[in-house]
Amino acid sequence: MADLSTAPLSQSDLCMGNLEVRLAQNEAEVDAAQALRYQVFYSEMAARPTPELELLRRDIDRFDPLCDHLLVIDHDRGTGPESVIGTYRLIQRPAAERAGSFYSSAEYDIGMLAGYPGEVLELGRSCVHADYRNRPTMQLLWRGIAAYIFQYDIALMFGCASLPGTDPQALALPLSYLYYHHLAPPALRPAALAGQYVDMRLLPPEQIDTRQALNELPPLIKGYLRLGGFVGDGAVIDHQFNTTDVCVIVKTELVTEKYYKHYERRSKDAGAS
């Protein structure tokens, strides 16, 4: 397991007031992340739990024991599970090989991503406690991801990102915008699996209001786009989670460039002082 503090981001970059971003260090912290995921996905977003998950009140699957769990901790909430207020699940290629696949393989043909030269990272299960859905929390999550990318020399990130609801027509504008403006190049373009494929071209290009489309996109997807992200071909309806999914791909050059500049600037400022 990586220690994010050894990446080229100082400890102050990984903390913000009472908040800290780091990897889960034990099973109790992973359990706290799973409890937060259940609260957000099932209690708030009306996902449909299996009887087992409903009994446990945890969002758990077969990938959890094999991956890293990025956490945002609020130290003002104590040291127990209540201190975990944000989480992201990080799956590297060796973990996916042990699991038999990446999570996204259930919805997309990601052969070209799984076989990409260099290290790859699948992102998923991102959620934040309702009281902390603000800029500082998201900044810390992204700093944690940047530190992880540095630590493992990740070249490509991908994962399923969700839009709320299961009616593609209600999401016609953002889905069409993503297809026409951010479709991945052929060499990096996963396609939704046959039988699950939903055509994203629900509106003609001339009817797309770019500003309105961006307003309707979830903040997480907009964050990926700001980093130069692409989407695969086709959306997928996830009835269990009450969402419409797209596959997002991000080459990490912009992430590393942004944070290298940030680190160099901090180093120069420290030297000047």
| pLDDT tens string 46-105 | 999 999 999 999 999 999 999 999 999 999 998 888 999 999 999 999 999 999 999 999
1 has pLDDT over 90: no
The pLDDT value given to residue 127? 95
Residue with tokens 């396609």: 191
> Rounded to whole angstroms, how far apart are CA atoms 36 and 57?
9
Neighbouring residues of 87: CB distance < 8 A, sequence distance ≥ 6: 33, 36, 37, 69, 70, 71, 72, 125, 126, 127
pLDDT at 90: 98
**260 has pLDDT over 70:** no
Mean pLDDT in residue range 8-34:
86
**Mean per-residue pLDDT, 206-212:** 97
Q: Is the pLDDT of residue 185 over 50?
A: yes
Q: State the pLDDT at residue 79.
A: 85
**Average pLDDT, whole number, for the chain?**
90
CA dist 140 and 19 (Å) reads: 8
> Domain ranges in the chain?
4-255
Report the CATH number of the 4-255 domain.
Answer: 3.40.630.30
The least confident of 6-20, 69-83, 129-143, 259-273 is: 259-273
Strand, helix or coil at 189?
Answer: coil
Dihedral of the alpha carbons of 197, 42, 148, 61, in degrees to the nearest 10? -70
Above 50 in pLDDT, residue 262? yes
Of 50, 113, 88, 86, nearest to 251 by C-alpha is: 113
Strand ranges in the chain using DSSP code E only, listed in sequence order: 15-16, 19-23, 68-74, 84-92, 108-109, 119-128, 154-164, 191-192, 230-231, 236-238, 243-251
Query: Buried b / exposed e across 52-78, counting CB within 10 Å, b at 16+?
Result: ebeeeebbbeebbeebbbbbbbbeeee
Lowest mean pLDDT among 157-161, 211-215, 251-255: 251-255
Phi, psi angle pair for 183, to nearest 5°: -70, 135
Q: How confident is the model at residue 12 (pLDDT cuts 50, 70, 90)?
A: low
DSSP strand E in 75-207: where? 84-92, 108-109, 119-128, 154-164, 191-192
pLDDT interval class at 4 (50, 70, 90): low
Q: How far apart are CA 8 and CA 146, in angstroms?
A: 9
Predicted local confidence at residue 261, as pLDDT: 60
Which band of pLDDT confidence, cut at 50, 70 and 90, is reported for residue 11?
Answer: low
Q: What is the pLDDT of residue 154?
A: 95
Q: How far is Cα 241 from Cα 87, in angstroms, rounded to an integer?
A: 17
- 273 pLDDT tier (thresholds 50, 70, 90): very low
Written as one string, the DSSP assignment of 198-224 is B-S--S-GGG--HHHHHHHS-HHHHHH
Give the β-pairing of 119-128 and 154-164: parallel
> At which residue do the structure tokens 């800029």 appear?
135
Per-residue pLDDT at 254:
72
CA–CA dist 25, 3 (Å, integer): 10
- pTM greater than 0.75 (yes/no): yes
